[in-house]
Structure 1
Amino acid sequence: MARTRATDFEEKQRGLLDSAAEVFAELGMEKASMAQIAAHAHVSKALLYHYYPSKDALIFAIIATHLEELDEAIEQADDATLAPEQRLRKLVGTVLECYRGADNQHKVQLNATSALSDEQKAEILALERRIVKHFALVLRQINPDLDDPQRPLLTPVTMSLFGMMNWVYMWFRDGGRITREDYADVATTLILEGIKAVR
């Protein structure tokens, strides 16, 4: 007879992912061990392995969960009825809000893809592309010339915006004089003003 799933399975699973992300972010993917992660999460190694059979599986789950939650938030926030400039600002704000409290997960995403299998990398890439597509569609609305086949600048401009958002964890601190909302305005303005000059 199959074991039934515990009612708090998802809560425990999320707690393990958060603890593992913290350990990976502090020690690095190579140095962090399953024993250290279990100790940090205050669980046995046996329980950790029950949820995640390997360190690679744990790394993949951290990245995939982080991106799936980001993708879902963007999907819900994306409003095609808004003017493109307002729509872009809402998307940027959504990403920066999703990054609140997720620095460890973000570090794992940026630094641990080499630990993944080709199949796992393909799944992560598909998630990333889905997220990026939302922004590319809006930027193309704002400046259709970015998608000129002779000089395709839509991807470089879109990824430049993601560069501004993805590296914010390196310097941004909640509680400072600049809020996430302030920075969302800055990043959006830089892109909106910048792409006017892109030819």
Structure 2
Amino acid sequence: MPRTSNVTEQPFENGSTASHMKPTHVARDTYDERQTHILEAATLVMARDGYQRATMRSVAREADVSIAGIYHYFDSKEKLLFVIQFRAFTSLLANLRERIHGIADPVEQLHLMVRSHVGYFATKIHALKVCSHELDSLTGAEFEEIRELRLEYYRMVRAIVDRVFGTYASGSRIDPHVATMSLFGMLNWLYRWYDPSNDRSHSNVAHQITTQFLEGITGEGNGDRINGSSPTETTARAGSQR
């Protein structure tokens, strides 16, 4: 499912993701701001009520805009759900590619992947819940597009996990697929308990998740030794390479 240069969420980039209304470049900033405001409201409503119970009217009420205002940007509730998930997964993919670029050590790649995921959703907990529960609410081409993005993210993370096994746990009988899905289980359950406003920083949460995962693979209680560095040290090294 999060450096000296920031990777921003992806805008609508092609016909399948564009709204039927095209803004001029002069009004683009305002258009994007209003669109994002509506998406944030829709995300909260779908996380709170579930996709099936959510309505365009409830989204309009949460966003404090008219029904006509909602339809100016999105032609259906399913389009809202599609864009919520499209933005999340394209951002996760772009962030991960940038963070691990030039990093050779698979454990450091794993640490950066977990920090990227936790850091991204720390400020988007409602989006994490929607992305975790509502893929099957999409249909047709939009379902297939999001499914492929999710698979691409899985394949990137699985490749990191495979390299960790090959380097640090080559004799392990643990199934790498099960290990990868268990890692996603830890990451995607955060919305049930994690409150980023309390005293647990997302960096420390990510570090513990990574350490637990590594200790589970090695079975030797040496996740911190393999991990090698604290979240702060890893972040500093990654930042120095950007």
Written as runs of structure 1 = structure 2, the 5 A alignment for 1:1-199 is 4-5=23-24, 6-7=27-28, 8-144=30-166, 153-197=175-219
Gaps of 5+ in 1: none
How far residue 152 of structure 1 moved from its aligned partner, in angstroms, is 8.3
TM-score normalised by L of structure 1: 0.87
Name the CA shift for 1:54/1:189 in 2 (closer, same or farther; >3 Å): same
Contact 2:125 2:191 in 1 (8 A): yes
What count of residue pairs does the alignment treat as equivalent?
195
Contact 2:174 2:217 in 1 (8 A): no
- Which AA in structure 2 matches 1:157? A
- For residues 66 and 4 of structure 1, what CA distance do their matches in structure 2 show? 23
How far residue 119 of structure 1 moved from its aligned partner, in angstroms, is 1.9
Gaps of 5+ in 2: 1-20, 221-242
Of all paired residues, the percent bearing the same amino acid is 27
- For residues 81 and 90 of structure 1, what CA distance do their matches in structure 2 show? 10
CA RMSD of the aligned region, Å? 2.4
Contact 1:60 1:116 in 2 (8 A): yes
Name the CA shift for 1:131/1:66 in 2 (closer, same or farther; >3 Å): same
Name the CA shift for 1:42/1:125 in 2 (closer, same or farther; >3 Å): same
Task: Specify the SS of the correspondent of 2:53.
Answer: coil
More relative contact order in 1 or in 2 (CA 8 Å, sep 6+)? 2
- For residues 75 and 51 of structure 1, what CA distance do their matches in structure 2 show? 30
- For residues 79 and 219 of structure 2, what CA distance do their matches in structure 1 show? 45
